[in-house]
Structure 1
Amino acid sequence: MKLIKLNAIDSTNDYLKQLAVKEDLQSFTVVTAESQTKGRGQMGAVWVTEEGKNLIMSVFIKNSVKDITAVFDLNIAVAVSIIEALQQFEIPGLRIKWPNDIMSYNFKVGGILIENNIKADGSINSVIGLGLNVNQLDFGPLPKASSLQVITKKLYDRDAILNSILFEMQKNCALSKNNPQLLWDSYLSLLFKKGIPMAFRKEITGHDFMGIIQSVNKEGELEVLLEDDTIEKYRVKEVQMLY
């Protein structure tokens, strides 16, 4: 494993992708930064972080999945790895909000962005970006955002958390190729608001409706039981949870 530590960068994911073009990177090359000016979440959402307070990292993984049909297995492996790492620090109320937000109780403490590159030979390399709110205290106009320190009233060693996450990620990324069902079982057991009646909003129409999260399928779609007892499937950014 190679670790590159930076002070300020526009995006650790972009930096690592550019580096992969220039060099033959080894798997689990890691980039961290003290601050990031153009951090991104799913579908271009902006991730804002306070300098020196949080964990900003990206990980390059070579041959990350066996084929294109298993891309969401990597999502599962990464999300479960972060939860398992944070459990070692006794962070309470940990859940995964579909598809891969890291929650403590009803607050978002982390987000994941995975970018895949399919090579000419069919192999897939991935850059996994993680923003984890560790010691930041102020989130301004973001009432659903929080940090490990806000939730537990403890100050955390970011390097210790980084090392724990990388250990779990290496273990689970290998497991995802050999026995992904174990990770799927963990992911589904940790799914935020699963089995609880709640309100949703369709992103395109703005229509609100009630439903109950049942599962996530192999394509990464959220399966929701509607009031008429039918199951509707939603892709990322097609539906918003109102909680």
Structure 2
Amino acid sequence: MSDDFSAKYTNSNLALDALPFDSSLFRGWRLRLQDVEPPLSPGLTLAVLRRGDVVPALIGDTLSEQPGTDAEIFSSVREAITLVAPFVGLPNVMPASFGVVAELNKRQVQNLQITPRQVDRETIKLGKWWLEMNARVYRGVGNSEVGMMIREFFPDLSFWANTTIFGYLLGGGNVFPLKEAELVVAAAIIALGATRQARSHCKAAIQLGNSFHNLDAILGIGKEMSHWSGHRLPQKVDLPKLVNELEALMN
């Protein structure tokens, strides 16, 4: 990756006081994530969405420990970035995307197979389908008032969220199963430092089939990541309490 490319694309949003990439720190997170089922090492990219400069080093370290998995790693990282873009914002994911491009060019990876989502416009128009996906993700989460307020006062935002986020991105994905996709989203929101949304998406991830062990691991690492990136969670996320709330609402 040339210095010109880094300055123009990958490092364009880098804060002057940003901490440098620490290979041992990120390797420790990767090792801890190997105990999560399914392993979510590529999801570490979510912690550094505002740090595109870290992405090439992160991918490089991962591939050095998992040789021969270039296509799999790139596919997972690309899908993770795509999934979380609406939740954390395009300006935050673009440097990470450019970091992926830089690493692809460095490794001279060509003819990368990219399978687009098989969701056409006519399917998106079928409101029942994407509303059912929304209901599936948030089943038992207990945030119905949020959807009601947004539908009433921000109808365009509500339509976009349901069709694009739940219908197209989460519902049409072909890299991760839905429960893993939601776990990636939850991890990104935790690393972003958004406490209220982190609680909701932890509940969503559990009710979609992720274990308490997985969420506990993601929450612990996510809090460390949010601290490292300067986006510490302002309030505690009490996972056992969230599990109890979820069980009460679903029974």
TM-score bracket for the superposition, by shorter chain length = under 0.3
Q: Would you tell me which structure has more strand in proportion to its own residues? A: 1
Q: Would you tell me which structure has more helix in proportion to its own residues? A: 2
- TM-score normalised over the length of structure 2: 0.22
Relative contact order (C-alpha < 8 Å, sep 6+): which is higher? Answer: 2
